[in-house]
A and B are shown apart, each in its own frame.
Chain A
Amino acid sequence: MPALAENNKIQVFTSMEEAPKNVSTKKVVYDTKDLNLWYGDDHALKNINLSIYENEVTAIIGPSGCGKSTYIKTLNRMVELIPVVRISGEILYRERNILERTYKVEDLRTKVGMVFQKPNPFPKSIYENVAYGPKIHGIRDKKTLDEIVEKSLKGAAIWDEVKDRLNENAYGLSGGQQQRLCIARALAIEPDVILMDEPTSALDPISTLKVEELVQELKKDFSIIIVTHNMQQAARISDKTAFFLSGEVVEFAQTDKIFSNPSDKRTEDYITGRFG
């Protein structure tokens, strides 16, 4: 869709100087309001207010321990698996607060896929890895499953490499292929959002670039939130960037602005490698 891509570009240029919240005409996917999170006594997230827009890539950067992984794990409520966690505030996903007790986590996770730092395919065939999610959601028809598997593998830009060996074990794939398989697995449930927690930190440079290109493709259909330690990666692939430090959002703006002329001295010091 070249027309849409062009529109996006115009928007990026015209809104460079302004806070993204006030200028975007896109719909908000996630609206985080006054989010606080504690691990026991440790105040890990402090008054987070962030709006994530659809069909954009939002990068979250910051030094180790700044809360960026914690934040992304609150977005699909994975963080509540940790017993000592306490949370206050709101995370609205498509205008509903996912932190409400009545919100079913299963519903959330069919809409929000996640890709982790290290590829973690199931010890099953390539086909079964992708078909697993749809099967759990009740799809049994072989033809439908075949279609989903092909579409997902194509969507993750790995189809051509695996189409002749779908029944082989996924562990036989290279690290980069395994990670793209995991992305295909996330796509198979037709999510709305894909969370990526340092998805390329265990990959070689070529595999990294393939995943980065894939992210650019995927944002046409999905909203993507990516935690990354690689600042050049954030600069290359994201539309907006949030800089986290000590559990706070120091700056959240257009990526072009963050990497050319950030407003906050701490952001400047971090992205230019003066600390961290």
Chain B
Amino acid sequence: MMVVREKFEEELNQLQHKLIELGNLASNALTNSLVALENGDIELALKIMEDDARVNIIEEEINDFAILLIAKQSPVAVDLRRIIVAIKIANDIERIADFAVNIAKSAIRIGKEPLVKPIEHIKHMHRLTLQMLSLSLEAFGEEDLTKAKKIAEMDDEVDDLYGQTIRDLLHLNATQPNQSSQITQLLFICRYLERAADHTTNIAENVFYLVKGKRYDLNN
């Protein structure tokens, strides 16, 4: 079958590449945010905050480019879904990057003081969330529904860990009230990671919409 819209195809590819670039930036920010926390690395935390400007710029570029494509190419059916989904996924990725910034800010507040207890659960949540982000971007790039579905399963695991960790931290808070400032920050970090994971689930839902043209709720 002859392809007669080569320029449009190329532009859709460009849109996808920009989205992957955005995803990589968010993924780096999220990776570094926990390094900053563990090592009390304030400089790294500040760098995460500074680099977030780039994420915002790329998200705006994606939105502008998508609007231009709609205006110029009058896309329909799967082409239209591809563009709409790109706008929505860009928004989810931008939010994930914001959570990385929030974690970095918490890391700064905790500073160099030793952590009240090993943060294995938080690290586990963080690892899962990063995997989900990377899997969601692969699912989008490859339009792979199996990968998209896997994200929903992983999100259940994150939710379980979240519940456990919150309980642990609240218990710790009761026994070590002098540490409540740090424990509060750790509670926030748990929440940020849980929310970031939810956004990767949104991305997965959008992959389903892209491929099937119907909406699916992967959270239930």
B174 at the interface (CB under 8 A from A): no
Contact mask for chain B residues 64-94; partner A; CB cutoff 8 A; 1 contact, 0 none: 0000000000111111100000000000000
B1 A260 Cβ-Cβ under 8 A: no
Residues of chain A from 136 to 170 with CB closer than 8 A to chain B in the complex: none
Chain A residues closer than 8 Å to B53, beta-carbon distance: none
* Assembly CA distance A162 to B8 (angstroms): 44
* Assembly CA distance A92 to B1 (angstroms): 37
* Assembly CA distance A127 to B76 (angstroms): 43
The size bracket of the interface on B is 10 to 19
Residues of chain A from 215 to 274 with CB closer than 8 A to chain B in the complex: 231-232, 235, 259-262, 268-269, 271-274
A83 at the interface (CB under 8 A from B): no
B4 A272 Cβ-Cβ under 8 A: no
Task: Find A275's partner among B4, B75, B78, B79 (CB 8 Å cutoff).
Answer: B4
* Assembly CA distance A262 to B80 (angstroms): 13
The size bracket of the interface on A is 10 to 19
Main secondary structure on B side of the interface with A: loop
A273 B77 Cβ-Cβ under 8 A: no
A236 CB → nearest B CB, Å = 11
B4 A274 Cβ-Cβ under 8 A: yes
B5 at the interface (CB under 8 A from A): yes
Task: Find A262's partner among B1, B3, B77 (CB 8 Å cutoff).
Answer: B77
B78 A273 Cβ-Cβ under 8 A: no
B163 at the interface (CB under 8 A from A): no
* Assembly CA distance A149 to B85 (angstroms): 52
B141 at the interface (CB under 8 A from A): no
Task: Find B4's partner among A231, A262, A273 (CB 8 Å cutoff).
Answer: A273
Count of A-B residue pairs with CB < 8 Å = 35
A276 at the interface (CB under 8 A from B): yes
B213 at the interface (CB under 8 A from A): yes
A231 B3 Cβ-Cβ under 8 A: no
Task: Find A235's partner among B1, B4, B8, B76 (CB 8 Å cutoff).
Answer: B76
Most buried by A among B77, B79, B80, B214: B77
Chain B residues closer than 8 Å to A268, beta-carbon distance: 77-78
A260 B4 Cβ-Cβ under 8 A: no
Contact A276:B4 (CB < 8 A) given known A260-B213, A261-B213: yes
A15 CB → nearest B CB, Å = 16
A181 CB → nearest B CB, Å = 30
* Assembly CA distance A273 to B77 (angstroms): 11
A273 B213 Cβ-Cβ under 8 A: no
A220 CB → nearest B CB, Å = 27
Chain A residues closer than 8 Å to B8, beta-carbon distance: 273
Contact A272:B1 (CB < 8 A) given known A260-B213, A261-B213: no
* Assembly CA distance A232 to B214 (angstroms): 22
Contact mask for chain B residues 190-220; partner A; CB cutoff 8 A; 1 contact, 0 none: 0000000000000000000000011000000
Contact A272:B74 (CB < 8 A) given known A260-B213, A261-B213: no
B176 CB → nearest A CB, Å = 56
Chain A residues closer than 8 Å to B77, beta-carbon distance: 259-262, 268, 271-272
Contact mask for chain A residues 106-129; partner B; CB cutoff 8 A; 1 contact, 0 none: 000000000000000000000000
* Assembly CA distance A274 to B3 (angstroms): 5
A275 B76 Cβ-Cβ under 8 A: no
Chain A residues closer than 8 Å to B5, beta-carbon distance: 272-274
Chain B residues closer than 8 Å to A269, beta-carbon distance: 1
Q: In the complex, which residue of chain B has the Cβ closest to the Cβ of A262?
A: B77
Chain B residues closer than 8 Å to A259, beta-carbon distance: 76-77
Chain B interface (Cβ within 8 Å of chain A)?
1-5, 8, 74-80, 213-214
Chain A interface (Cβ within 8 Å of chain B)?
231-232, 235, 259-262, 268-269, 271-276
Given A232-B74, A273-B4, A273-B5, 9 extra CB contacts under 8 A: A259-B76, A259-B77, A260-B76, A260-B213, A271-B77, A272-B76, A272-B77, A274-B3, A274-B4
List 27 contacting pairs A-B, 8 Å CB cutoff, sorted by A. A231-B76, A235-B76, A259-B76, A259-B77, A260-B76, A260-B80, A260-B213, A261-B213, A262-B77, A268-B77, A268-B78, A269-B1, A271-B76, A271-B77, A272-B5, A272-B75, A272-B77, A272-B78, A272-B79, A273-B4, A273-B5, A273-B8, A274-B3, A274-B4, A274-B5, A275-B2, A275-B4
Q: Which 3 A-B pairs have the closest CB atoms?
A: A261-B213, A273-B5, A259-B76
